[in-house]
A and B are shown apart, each in its own frame.
Chain A
Amino acid sequence: MYDPRTPFEKKALEHVNMEISNGDFVTILGRTGSGKSTLLQLMNGVLRPTSGEVFVDGISTSEKKDSLFEIRRKVGLVFQYPEHQFFEENVFREIAFGPKNFGVENDELDKVVMEAIDLVGLSREVLSKSPFNLSGGEKRKVAIASVISCNPEYLVFDEPTSGLDPLSVRLFFDMLGKFRRSGKTIVIVTHSVKEALQNSERVIVISKGQIVFDGGVQEFIKSKNLMEWGMLPPPLYRLAWRVKEQVEKINIKNDKLSEAINRLKDMVN
């Protein structure tokens, strides 16, 4: 709840019960204003619940300050607008800031920064530049690198791919694949049903502050409630749904056409 007991009181989330296990890859979907970002911010104690509790590896985010330090080290949060996170004079210092706070120094610090840069696919030339002079996509990568450099166990992303070109999106998910294989847990908030379908196994849908769906991706895409939740299925799915019923009884004699139609039918069957 934001601003409780004031005229601006606003319930952002209600009765949320969920568990994210180690090694999960979860996508959280929902419309603008559904409470997605609030949910994310509860995960590393940027926000704390008005009632109820959030636990990270058994530690409650509502506990005293010392444990918050531990929680924030475990849960790396990448906000939606990366430029909001920048404050250093060059990219190197920006990425080094986090690990330095956690006590990493000298050669080890250089190594950590280089690894992070390589992982997100930025060239080393940017290290000496000001993060404010980069393109939108490069800024995003620097923001991700500055979280990865702290080596968190849980990586939480708020709309990580908005504004990224398709190649960067692919590289981004390749990168998440690497994290995943190294045992990290990944949570992503996005508008993109397509990305959820292609990359994660579990989807959580939030609508008006409540979890309205929590299950596998196949189960999710077949749900009839997508539009009601304010979500638009990817265009090929929409095409498949439109075409399927109308051609159901037609005996298509052209092989290539029949192939194309079958591809569509397979998507929604």
Chain B
Amino acid sequence: MIKFEHVFFQYEYDNLPILEDVNIEIGEGELIALLGLNGSGKTSFFKMINGLLKPSSGRVVVDGMDTKEENLLWDIRKRVGMIFQNPESQIVGTTVEEDVAFGMENIGVPREEMLKRVDQVLDFVGMSDLKHVEPHRLSGGQKQLLCVASTLAMHPKYMVMDEPTSMIDPINRENILKIIVDLYKFGKTVLFSTHILDEIVVTPRVIYLRNGKVVFDGSPVEVIDSVKEEFGTSDFIEFQSNLYRYGFIEHFMDVEKLSERLVSLCQSSSKR
């Protein structure tokens, strides 16, 4: 479990509070989308989880370990895999394979196991055939997938992804989103932030940050209803909100599931 207890944060060079009295619990196996306008504190929130940033006051506790305890950081970071917005900033290997192995080497995974995991994670993100390619030859979307693979190879318990889809094209965006859902299905705890509202249809829980404060925390349907004035909405979300209002759906769905639902609703409506 990840716990934020009265977390306040501000940078030393600035008086502006970035996070203010954040109290939140994230249970194992959850899938959570973090929403908020630019500058609302999403990235700082995520950096708190693996101790890249430490609270100015309050505590962040990962599986019972306080991120302020320097000697626990190693253990915390092994549990929390971080993916940043710009994939360029976290690729280090000279080939795809080496990049995936890099993190594992650092945490001392035995060689045999390492080779096995490289194949596993590359297969998982659909990049097996690119194993020997130099990362700079990859497209933006492939680079982001590589970062996901490299992080996964370390078998983190929590996957924290800061706008993983914001710099890639729509088709790769769908790939990343599918991977997020798969990870969740396999029991990983996944947190991701996004500005693309349509992406929250896959999550059961949305946390909304406003000026560093958690102002909403609930199902996407509830949260969107409360924030659409300030955050905006999308035609896909609005369409589903209406269906929800009339009792046709219980929660938001992706295109595939929603089309199945609509077709079956139509069929049963005509039979009556």
Q: Which of B230, B236, B266 contacts A236 (CB 8 A)?
A: B236
Residues on B with beta carbons closer than 8 Å to the beta carbon of A6: none
Interface size class of A (residues with CB under 8 A): 35 or more
Q: Which of B91-99, B128-136, B242-250 contacts A (4 or more CB under 8 A)?
A: B242-250
The count of chain B contact residues (Cβ–Cβ below 8 Å) is 50
A-B residue pair count with CB separations less than 8 angstroms: 127
B171 near A230 with CB under 8 A, answer yes
Residues 220-240 of B at the A interface (beta carbon under 8 Å): 230-236, 239
CB distance A250 to B270 under 8 Å?
yes
Do A247 and B262 contact each other (CB < 8 Å), given the known contacts A166-B232, A192-B170, A260-B248? yes
* A33, A133, A236: most-surrounded residue (chain B CB, <10 A): A236
Inter-chain contact A167/B198, CB cutoff 8 Å: no
Q: How far is the CB of A158 from chain B (nearest CB, A)?
A: 12
* Binding-face segment, B2-10, B34-42, B114-122: B34-42
Note all chain A residues with C-beta closer than 8 A to B242.
260
The answer to whether A73 has its CB under 8 Å from any CB of chain B is no
Chain A residues, CB < 8 A from B255: 235, 238-239, 242
Known: A234-B236, A242-B259, A260-B239. A32 touches B169 (CB 8 A): yes
Q: Are B169 and A243 in contact (CB under 8 A)?
A: no
Interface of chain A: mostly helix, strand, loop or mixed:
helix
Q: Say whether A231 faces chain B, with CB atoms less than 8 Å apart.
A: yes
A232 and B38 contact, CB distance less than 8 A: no
Those of A215-269 within 8 Å (CB) of chain B: 230-232, 234-236, 238-239, 242-243, 246-247, 250-254, 256-257, 260-261, 263-264
Question: Which residue of chain B has its CB nearest to the CB of A83?
Answer: B86
Within 8 Å by CB of A133, from B13, B236, B258, lies B13
- B residues less than 8 Å from A163 (CB atoms): 38, 85, 163, 166-167, 195
Q: List 18 A-B contacts (CB under 8 A).
A: A31-B169, A32-B140, A33-B139, A136-B85, A165-B195, A165-B232, A167-B230, A167-B232, A169-B232, A193-B170, A234-B236, A235-B198, A236-B235, A239-B262, A242-B256, A247-B263, A247-B266, A253-B270
